[in-house]
A and B are shown apart, each in its own frame.
Chain A
Amino acid sequence: MYEFILPDLGEGIHEGEVLKWFVRPGDTIGEDDPLVEVETDKAAVTIPSPRGGKVVSVQGKVGDTINVGDVIATIDDGSGAAAVAPPPREAKAHTRVETPASCPVAEAAGMKVRPKTAGPVPAAPATRRLAREMGIDLKHVPPSGPARRVTADDVKNFATGKSAGAAAAPRAEKTEKIDRQAEAEFAAHAASAIPLLDIEPLPDFSEFGPVDKEQLRSIRRKVARKMVTSMILIPHVAHMDEADVTELEEFRKREKQRREGRPGGHLTLLAFVVKAVTAGLRAAPRFNASLDPFKEEIIYKKYYNIGIAVDSGKGLVVPVIKETDRKSIIDIAANIEDLATRGREGKLEVADMRGGTFTITNVGVLGGTGMMPTINYPEVAILGMGGVQEKPVVRDGQIVIRKMLPLTLAFDHRIADGADAARFVGEMVRQLSDPNLLLLET
Chain B
Amino acid sequence: MVMGSLAQETEIAIIGGGPGGYVAAIRAADLGREVTLIEQREQLGGVCLTEGCIPSKTLINAVDLIYTARQAKRFGLNFGEAQIELDKLRQWTSSVVSVLTKGVAGLLKNRGVEVIKGRARFTGPNELALEQSDVGSIKFRHAVIATGSRINELPEAYDLPVWTSADALTLPEIPQRLLVVGGGYIGLELGLVYAGLGSRVTMVQFFPHLLMGADQDLVAVVVKNCEKRFEAIKVESKVTGLEKSSSGFVAQIEHLGETTRHEFDRVLVAVGRKPNTDTIGLDILGLSPDNHGKLEVTEEGRTSIPHIYAIGDITPGPMLAHKASREAKVVAEVIAEQKSGFDNRAIPAVVFTDPELAWAGLTEVEAEKTGRKVQIGRFPLTALGRARTMGRTDGMVKIISDPETKLVLGVGMVGPHVSELIAEGTLAIEMGATLEDLMVTIHPHPTLSEAIMEAAEVAAGQPVHINPARK
Chain A interfacial positions (CB closer than 8 Å to B): 80-81, 86-91, 93-110, 112-118, 120, 122-125, 128-129, 132-133, 135, 145-150
Contact = CB atoms under 8 A, between A and B. Distances in A.
Interface in B281-305: 290-294, 296-299
Contact of A146 (B320, B362, B436): B436
Interface in B312-326: 316-320
B152 interface: yes
Nearest to A115: B298
Contacts of A135: 339
Contact of B430 (A88, A104, A124, A146): A124
B346 A103 contact: no
B342 A100 contact: no
B272 A106 contact: yes
Given A94-B361, A117-B299, A124-B432, A102 B316 contact: no
Given A99-B320, A102-B272, A122-B407, A89 B430 contact: no
B297 A114 contact: yes
Given A80-B291, A114-B299, A123-B432, A97 B318 contact: yes
B347 A97 contact: yes
A133 B339 contact: yes
Pick the 8 closest A-B CB pairs, nearest first.
A103-B272, A122-B432, A98-B213, A102-B184, A112-B316, A118-B343, A101-B184, A147-B405
B409 interface: yes
A147 B406 contact: yes
A97 B293 contact: no
Given A112-B316, A118-B343, A100 B350 contact: yes
Interface in B360-397: 360-363, 366-367, 369-372
Contact of A108 (B292, B349, B372): B292
A387 to B, nearest CB: 42
Given A94-B346, A100-B357, 10 more contacts: A93-B429, A100-B211, A100-B214, A100-B351, A102-B271, A103-B152, A109-B294, A113-B316, A114-B297, A118-B341
Contacts of B299: 114-118
B345 interface: yes
Interface of B: 152, 182-187, 205-207, 210-214, 271-275, 290-294, 296-299, 316-320, 339-347, 349-351, 357, 360-363, 366-367, 369-372, 402, 405-407, 409-410, 429-432, 434, 436-437
Nearest to B437: A146
A98 B349 contact: yes
Contacts of B320: 99
Contacts of B290: 81, 109, 112
30 contacts: A81-B290, A86-B370, A89-B371, A91-B372, A93-B345, A93-B362, A94-B343, A94-B345, A94-B347, A95-B317, A97-B318, A98-B213, A98-B318, A99-B318, A99-B319, A99-B320, A102-B182, A102-B205, A103-B182, A105-B272, A105-B275, A110-B316, A112-B294, A112-B316, A116-B299, A116-B341, A118-B341, A125-B430, A128-B343, A147-B407
Contacts of B434: 146-147, 149
A125 B431 contact: yes
Contact of A105 (B207, B292, B346): B292
B298 A114 contact: yes
Nearest to A128: B343
Given A97-B360, A123-B432, A148 B272 contact: no
A49 to B, nearest CB: 15
Nearest to B357: A100
B362 A112 contact: no
A125 B341 CA distance: 11
A90 B152 CA distance: 34
B469 to A, nearest CB: 22
Contacts of A116: 298-299, 341
A103 B182 CA distance: 8
Contacts of B437: 146
A122 B431 CA distance: 7
Among A80, A97, A107, A122, find the residue whose CB has the most chain B CB atoms closer than 10 A: A97
A4 B82 CA distance: 58
B344 to A, nearest CB: 5
Nearest to B301: A114
B272 A120 contact: no
A107 B347 contact: no
A150 B311 CA distance: 29
A93 B344 contact: no
A81 B402 contact: no
A101 B350 CA distance: 10
B343 A117 contact: yes
Given A100-B184, A102-B183, A114-B342, A89 B349 contact: no
